[in-house]
């Protein structure tokens, strides 16, 4: 249409005008029109990619130990090397503060983006508990504080909450504080150097960098995000099961600007390009000025069925923004345009892939079933006993949205690997809050493993355990996406979400608040599902049509495991904890990881009183 062509030209002019600032690494770090086109090309390749596409090997296995002649005699051996500095700086600083020899490799300068992150104070205080950020520094990085916070779905009603994602913080200030703390604790930074390859020996790993330098370490942490070449190699270029597409802008000119939207839908299914999408909004006041507001529009799509380009989604954003925010585009001063792609995998929590040279092993969530070795990227479950002799560990943590479940690759590339997009819920496509929640558990576990020399496969895979509360979240994302040729009402997604949120509101804060902060617990989930089925039984057939029987059956298994983990954490943990502390070091390490898995896997690390 002519108006769409005109809108696209206006958008390009806006982005070219405001994108003069320096772009940084991580999600949301690029603002230019050329960067948007590059990201759209990546998204196009994801949609069109075949599972048997040739993927370059970044990590290779070398038999035997690393001999002195193979490395620079003057080079240090790091305990941990972190690849990717935007979120990697946090785990690096936590480990360095515990006395480990830590380095960071970052292809750009290590710095936070100008665009704010929004987070709850409760999540931010997790960094304080770890000891790498003070309460005074917390106040320094907070740029805005806003309440109340709204959830709403297409004129069906609104739910208002307090202190949920209610702070805007400056990533630039926070990352700078982390850098100073990292360096003062003895950490070393290797900036503007890209990772070229990793050679894994029996005892050490050698990283080759883009400038020809080499670094040696015992453990590698990959914080390079969803598009990490290591994750791509592990998954053999496999197409994601779902993708969150997000676009947005920071603009000046909002007169009413004291509250936020956690999740808001102003319409039923819309057309973006050739795809039907259910659009959601998130918006909050920015700290750059009293009339400045950050607004995101996001949607979930299944790449098997295609999806709109980010540029097409941005065009729709400009078209819908005035009615959503009750403003005119002519009255807004656009300060920054934001966009991102966040792939997710249905098995990102329950599947732990192993790649040993050219073979792939699939390790299922319950840590009992392990897949057969296959020479192809297709995985077929079966029973198999696995014995691995080498001890080198490569660990992955990280996400662009930040968001993020710890990911461990052990041995000759690798055991226990999940998707780097991590721990996101349907109401949060960012990962910083998830990282803060798991940072203490991760840093303590890695430190204990390195110090105790517990670097065998069986010990290290315990650092990334199966967590049924996270695995269950896939159902919610599937329910929020639009699939072609589905015989459900265009208003179904909004009806389903409002029914769930209304039920959680009736059941009280103990049910609603954990969910809004990415935490799924067995008791609240049972209550919510029960109330929805009793109050809206007519919606059940549409749920089966929208989600699919296979996904529901798979989810039911995680639901039962969620109940089991809740029982273990509630009753078994208190009975065995003192006994665990009396065990020999290796057994103590193992059992501590079991207790953590029960607690975090049941969502019981979350406390209402905090």
CATH number at residue 121: 3.50.50.60
Which of 296, 329, 344 marks a domain boundary? Answer: 344
Residue 7: which domain range?
1-47+239-344
CA distances from 84 to 170, 197, 350, 405, 422 (A): 19, 14, 25, 15, 15
> For 154-163, 387-396, 453-462, which range has the lowest pLDDT when averaged over its residues?
387-396
Which of 425, 357, 434, 336 shows the shortest CA–CA distance to 33? 336
The total number of structural domains that make up the chain: 4
- The pLDDT of residue 246: 94
Do 440 and 578 lie in a common domain? no
Q: What is the pLDDT of residues 424-437, one digit of tens each?
A: 443 456 568 778 88
Residue 202, classified by CB atoms within 10 Å of its CB into exposed (0-12), middle (13-18) or buried (19+), is middle
Which of 463, 483, 503 marks a domain boundary? Answer: 463
Residue whose pair of structure tokens reads 């002799």 in the numeric block: 389
As given in the structure block, the two tokens for residue 477 are: 């994302």
- 103 CB-near residues (< 8 Å, 6+ apart): 78, 80, 81, 82, 92, 187, 188, 189, 190, 215, 217
CA distances from 287 to 86, 153, 292 (A): 21, 27, 7
Query: CB 553: neighbour CB atoms within 10 A?
Result: 9
* Residue 32 in domain: yes
* Residue 157 in domain: no
- Which residues make beta-bridge pairs with 271? 276
- Which residues make beta-bridge pairs with 410? 393
Mean pLDDT of the chain: 81
Q: What is the DSSP letter of 470?
A: H
- The pLDDT of residue 357: 25
Do 423 and 440 lie in a common domain? yes
% of the chain beyond a pLDDT of 90: 53
The answer to whether the pTM exceeds 0.75 is yes
Do 137 and 15 lie in a common domain? no
Residue whose pair of structure tokens reads 């898995």 in the numeric block: 597
Q: What is the pLDDT of residues 34-54, one digit of tens each?
A: 889 999 999 998 888 655 556
* Residue 201 in domain: yes
* Residue 297 in domain: yes
Do 69 and 211 lie in a common domain? yes
Cβ–Cβ < 8 Å for 46, 239: yes
| pLDDT band, very low/low/confident/very high, at 13 (cuts 50, 70, 90) | low
- The pLDDT of residue 51: 52
Angle made by CA atoms 301, 307, 309, in degrees to the nearest 5: 120
Cβ–Cβ < 8 Å for 144, 284: yes
- The pLDDT of residue 521: 95
Do 254 and 213 lie in a common domain? no
* Residue 89 in domain: yes
Query: CB 432: neighbour CB atoms within 10 A?
Result: 26
Do 417 and 400 lie in a common domain? no
Do 215 and 90 lie in a common domain? yes
pLDDT at 366 over 60: no
* Residue 156 in domain: no
Cβ–Cβ < 8 Å for 270, 316: yes
- The pLDDT of residue 428: 53
User: For 183-198, what is the mean pLDDT?
Assistant: 96
pLDDT at 82 over 70: yes
> For 176-185, 461-470, 588-597, which range has the lowest pLDDT when averaged over its residues?
461-470
Do 475 and 435 lie in a common domain? no
Do 70 and 201 lie in a common domain? yes
- The pLDDT of residue 227: 82
First vs last C-alpha separation in the chain: 52
Do 173 and 186 lie in a common domain? yes
Which helix or strand (DSSP H or E) is residue 559 part of?
helix 549-567
Dihedral (C-alpha) 404, 406, 407, 410: value to the nearest 10 degrees?
160
Which of 463, 478, 497 marks a domain boundary? Answer: 463
Do 138 and 173 lie in a common domain? yes
* Residue 54 in domain: no
* Residue 608 in domain: no
Do 254 and 363 lie in a common domain? no
């Amino acid at each position: 249409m002519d108006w769409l062509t005109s809108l696209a030209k206006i958008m390009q002019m806006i982005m070219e005008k405001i994108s003069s600032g320096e772009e940084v690494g991580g999600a949301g770090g690029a603002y230019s029109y050329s960067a948007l086109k590059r990201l759209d090309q990546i998204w196009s390749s994801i949609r069109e990619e075949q599972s048997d596409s040739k993927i370059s090997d970044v990590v290779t296995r070398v038999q035997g130990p690393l001999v002195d002649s193979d490395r620079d005699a003057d080079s240090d051996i790091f305990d941990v090397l972190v690849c990717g500095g935007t979120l990697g700086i946090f785990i690096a600083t936590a480990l360095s503060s515990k006395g480990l020899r830590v380095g960071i490799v970052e292809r750009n300068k290590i710095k936070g983006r100008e665009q704010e992150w929004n987070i709850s104070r409760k999540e931010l205080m997790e960094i304080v508990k770890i000891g790498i950020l003070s309460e005074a520094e917390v106040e320094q990085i907070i740029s805005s504080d806003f309440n109340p916070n709204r959830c709403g779905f297409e004129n069906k009603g609104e739910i208002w909450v307090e202190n949920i994602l209610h702070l805007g913080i400056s990533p630039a200030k926070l990352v700078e504080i982390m850098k100073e703390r990292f360096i003062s604790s003895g950490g070393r930074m290797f900036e503007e150097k890209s990772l070229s390859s990793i050679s894994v020996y029996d005892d050490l790993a050698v990283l080759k960098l883009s400038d020809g330098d080499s670094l040696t370490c015992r453990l590698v942490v990959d914080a390079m995000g969803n598009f990490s070449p290591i994750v791509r190699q592990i998954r053999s270029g496999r197409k994601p099961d779902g993708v969150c597409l997000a676009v947005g802008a920071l603009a000046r000119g909002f007169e009413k600007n004291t509250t936020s939207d956690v999740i808001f839908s102003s319409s039923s299914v819309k057309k973006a390009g050739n795809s039907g999408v259910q659009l959601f909004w998130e918006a909050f006041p920015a700290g750059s000025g009293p009339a400045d507001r950050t607004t995101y529009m996001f949607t979930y799509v299944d790449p098997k069925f295609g999806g709109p380009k980010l540029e097409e989604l941005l065009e729709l954003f400009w078209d819908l923004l005035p009615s959503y925010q009750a403003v005119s585009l002519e009255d807004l001063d656009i300060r920054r345009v934001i966009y991102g792609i966040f792939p997710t995998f249905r098995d990102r929590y329950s599947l732990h892939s192993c790649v040993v040279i050219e073979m792939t092993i699939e390790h299922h969530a319950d840590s009992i079933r392990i897949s057969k070795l296959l020479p192809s990227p297709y995985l077929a479950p079966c029973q198999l006993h696995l014995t691995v002799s080498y001890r080198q560990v490569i660990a992955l943590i990280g996400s662009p949205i930040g968001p993020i479940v710890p990911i461990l690759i052990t041995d000759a590339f690798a055991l226990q690997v999940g998707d780097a997009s991590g721990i996101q819920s349907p109401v949060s496509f960012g990962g910083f809050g998830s990282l803060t929640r798991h940072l203490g558990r991760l840093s303590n576990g890695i430190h204990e493993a390195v110090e105790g020399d517990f670097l065998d496969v069986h010990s290290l895979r315990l650092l990334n355990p199966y967590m049924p509360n996270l695995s269950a979240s896939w159902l919610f994302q599937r329910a929020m996406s639009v699939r072609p040729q589905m015989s459900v009402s265009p208003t179904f997604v909004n009806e389903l979400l409002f029914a769930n949120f209304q039920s959680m509101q009736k059941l009280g804060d103990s049910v609603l608040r954990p969910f809004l902060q990415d935490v799924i617990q067995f008791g609240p989930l049972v209550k919510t599902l029960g109330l929805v089925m009793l109050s809206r039984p007519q919606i059940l057939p549409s749920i089966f049509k929208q989600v699919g029987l296979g996904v529901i059956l798979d989810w039911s298994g995680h639901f039962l495991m969620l109940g089991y983990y809740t029982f273990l954490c509630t009753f078994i943990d208190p009975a065995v904890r003192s006994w665990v502390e009396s065990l020999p070091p290796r057994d103590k390490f193992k059992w501590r990881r079991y207790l953590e898995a029960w607690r975090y896997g049941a969502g019981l690390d979350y406390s209402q009183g905090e």
